[in-house]
Structure formats: C-alpha cells, structure tokens
C-alpha cells in the first residue's frame, strides 16, 4: 500500500530503596547458536527422519516427517539425518481439513450491547498440513544449517498444528496460509455458533506451550473474513498462535495477518489459559517486518491477550529487537472511507490487551501505525504507536515495566483521504510508548525513549497521604526521553532470506541494529537506586484540593 503525505502541576519525588542487579543493555539480537532449554524429558529412542519426501505410509526404509509424527509417542524426539542439513521438506498433503483445537467462545448481551466470554472449548481451526494431538518434539540441533518445513500444496493450509506442547529446535517454518472457510461441527459447545473456520497461526497453531529455539518463522499468512468484524471473523498470529510461548534465539519476520479484525502479525499469545504458565517469554529474538491489515488491528509484531477475560498473565520480552512492523487498515475506495470511522489501530511493535508486560534490554524501533484518527466520547484515541496497551474496562491491564531499552522512531500516520495511489496522510507524529490505562507504569532506568504517552493513566491525587498510590514511576536513574533514533542507533543488519512485508524501508527484513551514541556504555558496573516520580498531573489550578482522579500529562 502506498501513502502520500499531503498544566502543569507540582512534581514530587521520593527516593525508594530498590536495588537492582546489573542488567546489560544489549540491542543486537537475532537467531543463532543452539539452546536445549525447554526440551521435554524423554527416555525414548529418537525417530530419525531420513527423507525430504512427503508421504505416509513411506516406502520401506524411508522415514518421512509425516510418518514420524504419526508414529511418535507423546514428546518423543524426532531428529533429522545429517544428509538433510540445510534442506527443505516441502509439504504437499493436508493432514486434516478441520483441525480441532481449543478456542474462546464469545456471547453477546444485546440488552447491554457488550460481548462476554462463554468459555474455552473445541473449535474448528480449518486446514493443517501437519496435525498432532500430542506433545511434539522436532529437533534439528544436530544440523549446522537446520531444516526448513515449507507448505507447498495447492490449497491453503497452515504448516503445523499441535494440541499439546511443541518443542522446536533449529527448524524454519514457512509458506503457511491459514484461510477462513466453512466450519463444521467438531463437537463444539452448545452456545458456539461457529460459521467459519478460525484463521489463526498460519505457521504454527499450538494449544499448549510453543517452545521455540533457534528457529525462523517467516512468510506465513493468516487471512480472516474482511467483512466480519466479530472475533471469530478475525485473523490472529501470522507466524505463531499459541496459548503460551517460550521463544529463544529466533527470527519471526515477514508474516501477515488480515481480516475484519487482525492481531499478532508475528506472534499471537493467548497467555496461559490452559497451560498453567503465568509468563510467556521472548528472549534474544527478532520480530520484524510483519504486517497486519484490518478495521480493528492490534500488535503487528506481537500481541498478548494476557490469558483472556478473567485472567492476568505476563509477557516478558528480553534482549530482543522488534522493528519495522506495520499496522494498517484495508485499502478502501473513497466512497467507503467512512467505514474506517469505527476502527482502531494500535501497537506497531507490541500490544497487550490483558495482564502484564515487561520489556527489558530490548530495541523497539521504526514500527508504523496507519489509521483514520478519532476520539470517542471519553476522549480515548484510536491510534497508538510502538508499544501500546488497551484503554478502558473491557480488559485488565495491570502493569507495564520497561528497563534498559531503546524505544524510538515509531510513528503514527493519520489518514485523511484516498488518492490515486492510496491513502493520503494528513499528519505523522512520533509515538513510541502508549501506556493505555495500565494500573502501573514502571521504569527500571537507563531507557532511551522518543515519545512517552501516559495520558490515559488515572492517578489518585488530592491528599498528601495518597502520594504512594501514584501509578507513574518514571523517570528513573539514567532515563532519557525525547531522543531521536539516529542518536542511539546506527546501521541495520538485514536478512539474506526473508523479504520485508512490513515498513519496507528495504527489500529484505531487518534483523538488528548497531548501537551508538548515548545507548553505549551507560549502565553502571554496580547496583544503582531508583528514584520515583510521584506527580506531574494536568488540570486547572486548585483542582487537586479535593480527592478526585486526574490524568497524567
């Protein structure tokens, strides 16, 4: 898609006796090395895949991936013969037309005009090239160049679906296409009126824990119904859709999601609804150049649902790069432009709808959000940039913690019309962190942030003894905001194999950046104290004399 650019009050602070251990600021992250963390215990002998063919049953002496998955016991290790080093297994057959995985069932209260959660039950996720209803362990750590699993069939299908835990080592997943289609009854709940299959997890769909080590997840595409704005009609998780993720040393890039609703261009995390794990982790990983397109679009890089309605779990992002991901509406003709008046577009890099988020020693840069601007009757904006959290009472966003990170160069682009070559942009502005209505925003210090928007946090004031209830804990030691991207980062390293579908500054996807300037050698070599800022409120003079809620500046 092409675009054309046509109160202050008192500040109070208090020294808090919090001592942090040294955390190093590392902004260069990608995929490399070998890591066996998260591997399942298994005493069984490995099954060795020795063929690139896609057939089951295979001929005598030939062990295909499809046959290995069918014959493996739960969690049994599947490895690959050395002769397959660096090769690609091209899948051409669909294992199941109607994949059964757990998913949320929503109801709607017409009297109060609000949706509600019925529960989590079996649902129809559509076509999968490979499917397993047991724990799966694919281990290519013995191959220096790994192995690639690619969907090459004539129909649309995701690459792999697992009803259980997935352990993936040194494996690339590509070519998946999860497309909405006509659903069937797979034993749904009586209140489930599912009409279309769920377009979720075009590369991987895992109802369990997705343990990914040294993996590439790229060029996968989830496509929901563009005319259906319901949750079922949306598409989620271009690369990965999972209940819980533990991702280490991976690159998740060049994936897309589109539909009436769209979320998680690279990764969609439900958040431990059934796994019992209260934290999903993304460590030493690149999430770049993913794209989501929809009327309601959130989290082009990664989306965390925090466990869904009624739960509050955590997403932890450490030593990772989230860059050049793109949120946008579908391109509409001029006479349909008003359809965008109901839309939301937030979180070019990361978005959380529920729960908690921690971003530590990470680089969140050059993500972009396009949309038609508006504010609702409560003055809530519908656009938000690099990192964003939800607003309001529909979900419970608990806290956002950021430390030792570079978050800059993320932008919002306001659509004002449709021209000959696409949407015309009336206003572009920097927007790096949008806290939404989180209960607490906390800094661990030594951040480099461009624009920090805390406008939607409500902070109790009016009585001196309420000072400890302040929800804004920024700035801390070593924090700087108002920084420009060029002041802290240099040249970007690009992938040689992954094509950009995100911001597309270059043809190939970005992997990481070279740090420079004030992002180098800043964190002390010893512990340091944190200094709390307890005020900085906006309002008329004297408004704070009586207990009330006023927004942060």
Q: Which of 306, 329, 327, 331 is nearest to 316 (CA)?
A: 306
The whole-angstrom separation of Cα 433 and Cα 56 is 50
Helical segments of 90-142, H only: none
**pLDDT the model gives residue 539:** 53
Degrees to nearest 5, angle at CA 513 with 204 and 320? 40
pTM equals 0.89
pLDDT under 70: residue ranges of the chain: 1-39, 41-43, 56, 58, 377, 392-396, 458-469, 532-553
Average model confidence (pLDDT) for the chain? Answer: 88
Strand pairing class (411-419; 422-430)? antiparallel
The whole-angstrom separation of Cα 112 and Cα 121 is 25
Torsion of CA 438, 444, 450, 455, to 10 degrees: 20
Instruction: Give the chain's domain count.
Output: 1
Region for 84 from its dihedrals, namely left if φ exceeds 0, alpha if ψ lies in -120 to 50, beta otherwise: alpha
Q: What is the DSSP string of 329-365?
A: -----GGGGGGGGG-EEE-SSEEESSEEEEEES-EEE
Task: Read off the pLDDT of residues 225-237 as tens digits, 9 standing for 90 and up.
Answer: 998 888 899 999 9
DSSP strands (E only) in 52-203 = 77-80, 88-91, 100-109, 114-124, 128-132, 136-139, 147-151, 158-162, 166-169, 171-174, 177-179, 199-200
Torsion of CA 197, 202, 203, 209, to 10 degrees: -50
Which distant-in-sequence residues (6+ apart) come within 8 Å of 290 by Cβ? 238, 239, 252, 253, 254, 255, 256, 257, 265, 266, 300, 301, 325, 326, 501, 502
**pLDDT the model gives residue 21:** 34
**pLDDT the model gives residue 66:** 96
A 10 A CB-CB count for 181 gives: 18
**pLDDT the model gives residue 287:** 99
Which range of residues forms the domain containing residue 379? 2-551
């Amino acid at each position: 898609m092409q675009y054309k650019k046509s109160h202050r009050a008192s500040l109070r602070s208090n020294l808090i006796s919090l001592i942090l251990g040294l955390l190093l600021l590392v902004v260069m992250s990608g995929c490399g090395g070998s890591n066996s963390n998260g591997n399942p215990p298994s005493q069984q002998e490995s099954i060795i895949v020795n063929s690139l063919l896609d057939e089951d049953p295979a001929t005598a002496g030939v062990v295909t991936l499809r046959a290995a998955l069918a014959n493996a016991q739960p969690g049994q290790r599947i490895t690959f013969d050395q002769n397959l080093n660096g090769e690609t297994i091209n899948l051409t057959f669909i294992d199941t037309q109607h994949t059964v995985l757990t998913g949320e069932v929503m109801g709607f209260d017409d009297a109060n005009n609000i949706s509600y959660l019925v529960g989590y039950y079996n649902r129809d996720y559509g076509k999968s090239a490979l499917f397993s209803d047991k724990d799966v362990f694919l281990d290519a750590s013995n191959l220096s160049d790994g192995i690639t699993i690619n969907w090459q069939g004539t129909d649309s299908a995701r690459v792999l679906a697992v009803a259980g835990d997935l352990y993936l080592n040194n494996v690339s997943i590509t070519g998946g296409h999860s497309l909405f289609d006509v659903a069937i009854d797979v034993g749904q709940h009586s209140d489930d009126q599912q009409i279309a299959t769920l377009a979720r997890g075009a590369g991987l769909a895992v109802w369990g824990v997705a343990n990914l080590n040294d993996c590439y997840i790229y060029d996968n595409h989830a496509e929901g119904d563009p005319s259906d704005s319901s949750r079922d009609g949306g598409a989620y998780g271009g690369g990965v859709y999972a209940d819980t993720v533990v991702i280490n040393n991976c690159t998740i890039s060049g994936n897309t999601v589109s539909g009436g609703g769209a979320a998680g261009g690279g990764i969609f995390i439900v958040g431990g609804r059934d796994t019992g794990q209260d934290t999903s982790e993304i460590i030493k990983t690149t999430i770049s150049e993913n794209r989501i397109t929809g009327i309601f679009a959130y989290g082009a890089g990664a989306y965390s649902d925090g466990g869904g309605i009624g739960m509050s779990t955590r997403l932890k992002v450490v030593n990772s790069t989230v860059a050049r991901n793109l949120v946008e509406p579908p391109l509409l003709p001029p006479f349909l432009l008003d359809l965008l008046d109901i839309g939301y577009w937030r979180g070019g890099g990361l978005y959380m709808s529920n729960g908690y988020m921690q971003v530590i020693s990470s680089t969140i840069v050059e993500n972009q959000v396009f949309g038609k601007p508006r504010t609702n009757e409560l003055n809530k904006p519908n656009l938000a940039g690099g990192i964003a959290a939800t607003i309001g009472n529909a979900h419970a966003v608990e806290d956002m913690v950021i430390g030792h990170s570079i978050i800059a160069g993320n932008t919002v682009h306001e659509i004002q019309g449709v021209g000959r070559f696409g949407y015309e942009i009336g206003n572009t502005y920097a927007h790096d962190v949008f806290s939404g209505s989180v209960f607490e925003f906390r800094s661990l210090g030594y951040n480099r942030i461009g624009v920090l928007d805390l406008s939607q946090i409500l902070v109790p004031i009016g009585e001196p003894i309420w000072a400890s209830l302040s929800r804004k804990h920024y700035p801390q030691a070593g924090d700087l905001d108002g920084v420009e991207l060029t002041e802290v980062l240099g040249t970007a390293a690009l992938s040689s194999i992954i094509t950009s579908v995100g911001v597309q500054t270059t043809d190939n996807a970005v992997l990481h950046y070279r740090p420079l300037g004030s992002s180098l050698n800043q964190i002390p070599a010893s512990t340091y104290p944190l200094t709390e800022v307890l005020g900085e409120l906006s309002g008329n003079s004297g408004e704070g004399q009586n207990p009330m809620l006023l927004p942060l500046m």
